[in-house]
Amino acid sequence: MKKIRFCLTFLVSTLVLFTCKTDNVDGIVIGQTLYAHQSLKRNSEMRKLIKKSLNKDVKAIISLKNFPNGGAASSYDLGFVITQIIYRLGEEEFISLVKKFPKNEQNFEGLIDVGLEYGDNDYDGKMDDKRFIDEFPKLYNFINN
Residue range 51-77, pLDDT digits in tens? 999 999 999 999 999 998 877 788 899
What pLDDT score does 26 carry? 92
Contact, 28 vs 47, CB < 8 A? no
Q: If we measure between CA atoms, which residue out of 41, 44, 109, 124 comes closest to residue 75? A: 109
* pTM of this structure: 0.82
Q: Locate the DSSP E strands across 10-139.
A: 24-25, 28-29
3-class secondary structure, 29: strand
